[in-house]
Amino acid sequence: MNVQVIASVGEARTDELQNKTVIVIDVLRATSTMLTALTNGSRSVVPTETVAQAKSLQRPGDLLGGERSCKKIPGFDFGNSPFEYAPEAVKGKNIIMTTTNGTRAVQKSHKAAHILAGSLLNASSCAVKALQLQKEIALLCAGTHDVFSLEDGLCAGLLADELVRLTGGGCEVNDLGLAMMHAYRQTHDRLPETILSCSNGKRLIRLGYKEDVLYCSQVNRIQAVPQFHDGAMVI
Amino acid sequence: MNVQVIASVGEARTDELQNKTVIVIDVLRATSTMLTALTNGSRSVVPTETVAQAKSLQRPGDLLGGERSCKKIPGFDFGNSPFEYAPEAVKGKNIIMTTTNGTRAVQKSHKAAHILAGSLLNASSCAVKALQLQKEIALLCAGTHDVFSLEDGLCAGLLADELVRLTGGGCEVNDLGLAMMHAYRQTHDRLPETILSCSNGKRLIRLGYKEDVLYCSQVNRIQAVPQFHDGAMVI
């Protein structure tokens, strides 16, 4: 089985993802937040590319979430902080969500056989689920405005490591994936500090979201794996 | 000072390299081979993009070197193996060289203030030289047909580590560079095995060039740093 790590949405080619299982990774914060919302009882999370699309899809009772430049969109119910998506706020609700990079990664994967939402929080379960789906696997790091982001790469490294372990070495990992596996192994025992000191970590600290970074840096805390069905992420 | 690691030639934007010091990295094997040829007494190495260009630039006494698909080009004096460029073969000679990826990386950097040839063999000297030139630094991994190659990434990680060390932490390294620094630190004590098991390493073993991979995996064995002047790499 081939495992291909892709550095950012800008480098993903839609045709290359065709008929694969794509694990979309946006550790800070889209996929971590989607996972948290769904684990806290949200019925579904619908990723959309634009603010206008999000508003047009909203039915009575649905909530709007998302960010631009890491900040909540005016008129929306939530920003992109996982802490906003508490059980009392999201239980039984559909959430229409637009984020800068994570949502674009899902859109870019529309020809995939399966789309999963991966994060450090659910990496192990995500690897198990991806293997069950029995397709070639692409780990699509969302990145930031088409530039590679360290936290997504480290998560891809962890996922690739898990996939290699679960298949007893029966995976062929591309060179970028091998680099990320090495980088993850080097940093796994100080992941929060490592992620706080990379580009998005520093930006989120400046904006007052240090706790979000620490939350999203936890490994295998959640077992659920969001999967894309009929336009929405569900667990 | 900013240190930017770029994953492959395909991702490099010429304008982004303008007025910077670009260290071109093609560990397997273009920059390792250029460095070896120059250290062995070659007067200059002229990188060209096409076979036709190489032939048209050849003056009496000049030698032709290069590869396509890792193999020597018919009619050329040398392929791309560093062992071919022995002192008795290259002393005092100009070598016109065309390789698939390394040469393209040099061409892509034509707006740079300075272009250096980096490899594991001369990483430490290369970092010192780049700092002396007092410009922003880009580490351009040649990659393979616009895809990231692990050996180039590990070399970029070593170079970034050296730059951070030499400046006492006074470098801002981009996220891809941080990932490569971690990957290098994780693998530095088994670099030959790591490089033999990545994509280009395996390909070169298949083609009978395992010794080339082992040679190119040595760290800081050579102090010279090829620099691009008037169309040619010289030391």
| Tens place of pLDDT per residue across chain B (235 aa) | 899 999 999 999 999 999 999 999 999 999 999 999 999 999 999 999 899 999 999 999 999 999 888 888 999 999 999 999 999 999 999 999 998 888 889 989 999 999 999 999 999 999 999 999 999 999 999 999 889 999 999 999 999 999 999 999 999 999 999 999 999 999 999 999 999 999 999 999 999 999 999 999 999 999 999 999 999 999 9
Whether chain B has a CB inside 8 Å of the CB on A182: the answer is yes
Say which residue, A206 or A103, is predicted with more confidence: A206
Nearest to A192 by CA among A103, A121, A101, A86: A121
Predicted complex ipTM exceeds 0.85: yes
**Taking the C-alpha atoms of A118, A120, A125 and A131 in order, what is their torsion angle to the nearest 10 degrees?**
50
On average, the pLDDT of chain A sits at 96
**Interchain CB distance below 8 Å, B179 and A150:** yes
Contacts of B93 (CB under 8 A, 6+ apart): B42, B43, B61, B62, B63
Residues of B in contact with A154 (CB under 8 A): 179
Give the side-chain half-sphere CA count within 13 A for B106.
28
Contacts of B230 (CB under 8 A, 6+ apart): none
Sorted by where each starts, the structural domains of chain A and their CATH numbers stand as 2-234 (3.90.1560.10)
**Interchain CB distance below 8 Å, A187 and B182:** yes
Burial class, A209, CB count within 10 angstroms (exposed 0-12 / middle 13-18 / buried 19+): buried
CB B207 within 8 A of CB B28: no
Instruction: Show the DSSP H helices in chain B as ranges.
Output: 30-39, 51-57, 87-90, 102-108, 123-132, 150-166, 175-187, 191-196, 199-206, 210-216
Q: Which two tokens stand for residue B74?
A: 């018919």
- Radius of gyration for chain A, computed over Cα atoms and rounded to the nearest angstrom: 16
Alpha-carbon distance values, A176 to A48, A91, B121, B179 (Å):
28, 39, 22, 10
Whether chain B has a CB inside 8 Å of the CB on A186: the answer is yes
Nearest CA of chain A to the CA of B98: how many Å?
A: 24
Residues of A in contact with B185 (CB under 8 A): 186
**At B197, which amino acid appears?**
S
Residues of A in contact with B148 (CB under 8 A): 7, 174-176, 179
**pLDDT, average across residues A173-187:** 98
Q: What is the pLDDT of residues B209-224, one digit of tens each?
A: 999 999 999 999 999 9
